[in-house]
Amino acid sequence: MKDLQTITLLYDVYGPLLTPRQQELIQAYYLEDLSLAEIAGGDGVSRQAVHDLIKRAEALLSEYEEKLGFVREYRARQERLSRLAVAVREQDQAAALAILDELKSE
């Protein structure tokens, strides 16, 4: 299992590319925190089937990120913005301007 923050971020970005069933399972397991048994019982399928479907959806989300890299870009931009906030708080104009240049060049 990947960490919750990573999966939810990947789902936020690439979720619409999944099938409705895959979206439903990711939401139930990660966002509603239901167990595999709870999901399986409600759907009338085996726990293993639910597990396999969730793993396939996770793999697809990772594949989309590998190919498109939107989450990686988002995280890099957030890191730059955090550094910019620190530079502004510390009134380090040179550092702030350098970070702004980095952001402009994206």
Beta-carbon contacts of 39 under 8 Å, excluding residues fewer than 6 positions away, are 25, 28, 29, 50
Tokens of 100: 């702004």
Same domain (yes/no): 27, 79: no
Q: How confident is the model at residue 85 (pLDDT cuts 50, 70, 90)?
A: very high
Same domain, 39 and 8: yes
Q: Identify the pLDDT of residue 1.
A: 46
Same domain, 64 and 88: no
pLDDT tens, residue by residue, 16-63: 999 999 999 999 999 999 999 999 998 788 999 999 999 999 999 999
Q: Could you tell me the residue range of the domain that residue 88 belongs to?
A: 73-104
Q: What is the CATH number of the domain that holds 10?
A: 1.10.10.10
- Per-residue pLDDT band at 2 (split at 50, 70, 90): low
Domain count, the chain: 2
91 and 78 in a single domain? The answer is yes
Separation CA 59–CA 63 (nearest Å)? 6
C-alpha span between 70 and 106 (Å, rounded):
13
